[in-house]
Structure 1
Amino acid sequence: MRGGIEVAKRTAIVVGATGFTGQHLVKQLCESEEYVAVTIIARRNITYTHAKLDVKIREFDTLEERDLEIADDLFCCLGTTMKKAKTRENFEKVDLEYPLRIASLAKKRGIPNFHVISAAGSSSKSPFFYSRTKGRMEQELIDLKLPHLSIFRPSLLTGGRTEFRLGERLAEGIFQLINPILVGPFKGLRAIEGKQLAFAMYHFAVHNHKNNVQLYKAIDILGAKPWEVEEEIPVAREELFDWSKRKDIFVEENKPKD
Structure 2
Amino acid sequence: MKAVVIGATGATGKEVLELLLANEKFTEVVALVRKPLTRAHERLRAVVVDFDNLSRWSDVIQGDVVFSCLGTTLKDAGSEEAQFKVDHDYQYEFAKLAKKNGIPTFLLISSSGAAPKSWIFYSRMKGQLEQNIEALAFESFLAFRPGALVRPQSHRKGEKIGVSIIAFFNKIGLFRNMAPLPVRRLAALMVRDSISPPVGYTVVGSGRILKESKKLG
Q: 1:198 is matched with which residue?
A: 187
Q: 2:142 aligned with 1:150, yes or no?
A: yes
Q: 1:7 is matched with which residue?
A: none
Q: Deviations over 1:147-168 (max 9, x none)?
A: 2211010001113145x11111
In the superposition, relative to structure 1, how do residues 179 and 31 fare at CA in structure 2: closer, same or farther (>3 Å)? farther
**Conserved 8 A contact 2:140-2:197:** no
3-state SS, counterpart of residue 55 of structure 1? strand
Q: 2:76 aligned with 1:76, yes or no?
A: no
Q: 2:130 aligned with 1:138, yes or no?
A: yes
**Conserved 8 A contact 1:182-1:190:** no
Q: CA deviation at 1:180?
A: 4.9
Q: CA deviation at 1:192?
A: 1.1
Aligned partners of 2:41 and 2:104: how far apart in 1?
25
Identical-pair percentage: 34
Q: Give TM-score scaled by structure 1 length.
A: 0.78
Q: 2:86 is matched with which residue?
A: 94
Q: Give TM-score scaled by structure 2 length.
A: 0.92
**Conserved 8 A contact 1:114-1:150:** yes
Judging by fraction of residues, say which structure has more helix.
2
Q: CA deviation at 1:146?
A: 2.1
Root-mean-square deviation (CA, aligned residues, Å) is 1.8
Q: CA deviation at 1:41?
A: 0.2
From the CA coordinates, give the structure whose radius of gyration is larger.
1
Q: Deviations over 1:169-218 (max 9, x none)?
A: 122223344445557xx4321111111111111011113112x1111011
In the superposition, relative to structure 1, how do residues 21 and 149 fare at CA in structure 2: closer, same or farther (>3 Å)? same
Higher RCO (Cα < 8 Å, 6 or more apart): 2
3-state SS, counterpart of residue 45 of structure 1? coil
Q: 2:177 aligned with 1:188, yes or no?
A: yes
Q: 1:52 is matched with which residue?
A: 43
**Conserved 8 A contact 1:119-1:155:** yes
3-state SS, counterpart of residue 35 of structure 1? coil
Q: CA deviation at 1:135?
A: 0.8
Q: 1:217 is matched with which residue?
A: 205
Q: 2:5 is matched with which residue?
A: 14
Q: Which amino acid aligns with 2:45?
A: D
Aligned length: 214
**Conserved 8 A contact 2:144-2:205:** yes
Aligned partners of 2:171 and 2:188: how far apart in 1?
21
Aligned partners of 2:165 and 2:37: how far apart in 1?
32
Q: Deviations over 1:93-130 (max 9, x none)?
A: 01111111111000111111011111000111111111
Give the alignment partner of residue 166 of structure 1, picking from 145, 157, 168: 157
Q: Which amino acid aligns with 1:172?
A: V
* Unmatched segments (≥5 aa) in structure 1: 1-9, 228-258
3-state SS, counterpart of residue 27 of structure 2? strand
In the superposition, relative to structure 1, how do residues 97 and 28 fare at CA in structure 2: closer, same or farther (>3 Å)? same
Aligned partners of 1:51 and 1:181: how far apart in 2?
48
